[in-house]
Amino acid sequence: MFSLFSKETVLYAPVNGKIIRIEDVPDQVFASKMMGEGVGFVNDGNEIYAPCDAKVIMVPSSKHAIGLKTKKGIELLIHIGLDTVNLNGEGFQVHVKENDSVKRGQLLISYDKHLMEKKKINLITPLVITNSSEYIIEKLVEESQIGINDKVLIVKWNRRCNTWKLLDV
């Protein structure tokens, strides 16, 4: 219960692979931070894990992304690959559903990496805090190999925005 009142939330890598700067994601929507602050990943595997304890708030029918929300109101988007929405769900398997509560490290989505490579899909996976303007984001690592047990971002309460909202997650 004490951690609920902490003024920061740690986000862990949702993949095993390499972390890259959000500005280096080859998609202008993410690189320009139009969706929010974050980081990108080059996944060595084919699975996406929860970067923190949260509630699943969105899984599109195309299965290419997942939206999460923490008890503190931090909204996250994990977008698997670029232009994967055009696959209409082909090659993706979702292991959770909307309104599920998930724990850090829990498997969220897996995908057929060979199919994606065959279709020449760029699998860079952004992790974006879609309401990042309400928080102070501290990046812990850039341009290095990481694993799902590695801390990658700290999201801090922004006193000016007075954002900590306790939610039923």
Assess contact for 123 and 42: CB atoms under 8 A: yes
126, 152, 162: which is closest to 29 by C-alpha?
126
6 or 114: which leads in pLDDT = 114
pLDDT at 1 over 90: no
Identify the band that residue 169 occupies on the pLDDT scale cut at 50, 70 and 90: very low
Q: What is the DSSP string of 98-124?
A: TT-EE-TT-EEEEE-HHHHHHTT----
Q: What percent of the chain has pLDDT over 90?
A: 80
Confidence at residue 5, expressed as pLDDT on a 0 to 100 scale:
52
Does the pLDDT value for residue 53 go beyond 90? Answer: yes
Pairwise pLDDT comparison (3 vs 126), residue with the higher score: 126
Q: How far is CA 90 from CA 50, 84, 110, 158, 167, in A?
A: 22, 9, 11, 40, 34
* pLDDT score of 2: 43
CB neighbour class for 168 (10 Å; exposed up to 12, middle 13-18, buried from 19): exposed
Q: What is the pTM of this model?
A: 0.90
* Nearest Cα to Cα of residue 127 among 51, 73, 64, 55: 51
Do the beta carbons of residue 15 and residue 125 sit within 8 Å? yes
pLDDT tens string 118-151: 999 999 999 999 999 989 999 988 778 999 999 9
Residue-wise pLDDT tens digits, 6-37 = 678 999 999 999 999 999 999 999 999 999 99
Active site positions, annotated: 79
Q: What is the pLDDT of residue 160?
A: 60
CB of 39 within 8 A of CB of 152?
A: yes
